[in-house]
Every structure is written in C-alpha cells, then in structure tokens.
Amino acid sequence: MKSFIERKEDVVRSWYVIDAKDEPLGRVATKAAHILRGKHKVTYTPNIDCGDYVIIINAKKVKLTGNKLDDKMYYNHSMYPGGLRERTAREMREKYPVEMLERAIKGMLPHNRLGRAMGKKLFVYENETHPHAAQKPVQIEIK
C-alpha cells in the first residue's frame, strides 16, 4: 500500500465558526489550532498547509478558570531599556480580547513559515458579527 501525500494544489479548504462564549480559552485555542493545521482531515500532511479557515466570535466572553484572570500575565518588550510591559489576563480580556485569543492559538501552531501561513487563516472577532457570511461557514461545537 502506498502512502498518501497531499499536494498544496489539491487542498480543498472549508470555513468554520467557533463561538467562544462561556468556553475555556484553552479549549477554544486547541480546537482552532487543530482545524488550522488540518489535523481533522484524513488527508493531513505535516509539511503542507492543508488546514481550513477558522472564524472565532465572542472573543470578549471567553472564560478563564481558576485565578487566571488575576494571576496570568502577558508580557511585551519594546527592546529598549525598561521597555517591558505587563498585562493581566483580566486587562487583556477587557481591552484586547482578539489579541489574547490570537496569542493562545498561534502559540499552538508551528513556529516557522508554515505556521505563519496557517495563522493567516484565523479571524477573531469580539462580538457575534463577522463579515464572512458569504463563505457559508459551518458552526463547530466545542466538546
């Protein structure tokens, strides 16, 4: 039996919507990363970007369990002396919910050219509305 290796020209992409309302951040992120990589398909090939498009709505209403709202920190550095900026998860969820979800998901993708290509197929929105209705996305339930 021969092994199957998908070519990038033969990839068929679909669109999926994940509603993050009252769902744990990690569960949403792992589901989205799984679909972006294409691991949900039988034609998964590790060295090809064979994943699908993912739309995440209600990013502002994502849930964090335990004391993570106050204990979890997000760090940025401007590369200048004293340029470290720290934010709590509560502050990120209130002011930058899109960035919070994108960071969680992109951290689960490969850290190379292929991962950056996969990350471009991710669309995160704070509220329920999104401009991708023409693509007829399929609603995905997080189990």
pLDDT in tens, 70-122: 999 999 999 999 999 999 999 999 999 999 999 999 999 999 999 999 999 99
Q: What per-residue confidence (pLDDT) applies to 49?
A: 96
The tally of CA atoms less than 13 A away on the side-chain side of residue 14 is 10
Residue 33, in any domain of the structure: yes
What CATH code is carried by the domain that includes residue 47? 3.90.1180.10
Residue 96, in any domain of the structure: yes
Residue 2, in any domain of the structure: no
Say whether pTM exceeds 0.85: yes
Residue 3, in any domain of the structure: no
Q: In this model, does residue 2 exceed pLDDT 90?
A: no
Query: What are the pLDDT digits (tens) for 49-76?
Result: 999 999 999 999 999 999 999 999 999 9
Residue 1, in any domain of the structure: no
Number of domains in the chain: 1
Query: What are the pLDDT digits (tens) for 6-65?
Result: 999 999 999 999 999 999 999 999 999 999 999 999 999 999 999 999 999 999 999 999
Residue 135, in any domain of the structure: yes
128 is written with which tokens? 């329920």
Q: What per-residue confidence (pLDDT) applies to 143?
A: 80
Q: pLDDT class for 3, splitting at 50, 70, 90?
A: confident
Q: Which one has a higher pLDDT value, 109 or 2?
A: 109
Residue 64, in any domain of the structure: yes
Q: What per-residue confidence (pLDDT) applies to 1?
A: 78
Instruction: Give one DSSP letter per residue of 31-93, joined into a string.
Output: HHHHHHHTTTSTT--TTS----EEEEE-GGG-B--TTHHHH-EEEEE-SSTT-EEEEEHHHHH
Residue 56, in any domain of the structure: yes
Nearest to 120 by CA among 45, 58, 64, 52: 52
End-to-end CA distance of the chain: 35
